[in-house]
Amino acid sequence: MRELVMDTETTGLDPDEGHRIVEIGAVELINHMPTGRTYHQYINPQRPMTADAFAVHGLGDDFLAQYPPFDRIVDGFLAFVGADRMVIHNAPFDMRFINAELTWLGRPSLPESQALDTLALARKRFPGSPASLDALCRRFAIDNSSREKHGALLDSEILAEVYLELIGGRQPDFGLSGPANTSSDGPRQTRSWRPGPRPNPLPPRLTEAERAAHRAFVATLGDSPVWSRYGGGESGS
């Protein structure tokens, strides 16, 4: 199962007011394990940055002017995402911006069902508790000391760790599942794990003195001790 843990940074809070995406970051997971493959792109929003947004992520107009606009990165972005699940903290916010950008280009929107919202997942698991990314890092003892400002790739890397804790840890099946049949639109089907025989039997741990003591004890139990019915053939008879 392939998942993309993802985050975006924007010029503001509402695409209906003309705000745009300025950064996308994503971390690839396969069967809940990071592969080391990432996606990261700064984007020229072709509009001024708001002061409030700049205070959050520190991406200014001069810096972003050197990067391509969304229409020049959209194909690479969609190719990376494919039809696989996107894991996003406060997914409705990011999905609204992504789909606004796609709509402005006349592209089909990504289905909301393709996104898994870790904010909703955290609120369900810890009702009434703070569920921000920083709060979840504190809860799970995840180091986010490098997060002085928001950054899409850094936040995706941190969110990947948080997500794996939310679903039960980095290896939720402890590697005991058999080979997986995966698809982008359905759950993983796994084969039950069963232990096999040892390739080399363990050596006996009894000493000869212990064996002799056992034979002497069995000899005191009479002519037909029950022990001999269960493979205890060392009765001395």
Residue 2 three-state SS? strand
pLDDT tens per residue, range 81-96 = 999 999 999 999 999 9
199, amino acid identity: P
Which residue in 32, 57, 89, 150 is the catalytic one? 150
pLDDT tens per residue, range 95-142 = 999 999 999 999 999 999 999 999 999 999 999 999 999 999 999 999
Position 69 confidence tier, pLDDT thresholds 50, 70, 90: very high
Between CA 23 and CA 38 the distance in angstroms is 13
Residue 48 pLDDT: 96
Position 209 confidence tier, pLDDT thresholds 50, 70, 90: confident
Q: Are 108 and 98 in contact (CB under 8 A)?
A: no
Between CA 172 and CA 195 the distance in angstroms is 19
Residue 224 in this model has a pLDDT that exceeds 50: yes
Structural domains in the chain, sorted by start: 2-166 (3.30.420.10), 203-237 (no CATH)
pLDDT tens per residue, range 133-192 = 999 999 999 988 776 567 888 899 999 999 999 998 655 444 434 444 433 333 333 344
- Concerning whether 150 is annotated as a catalytic residue, the answer is yes
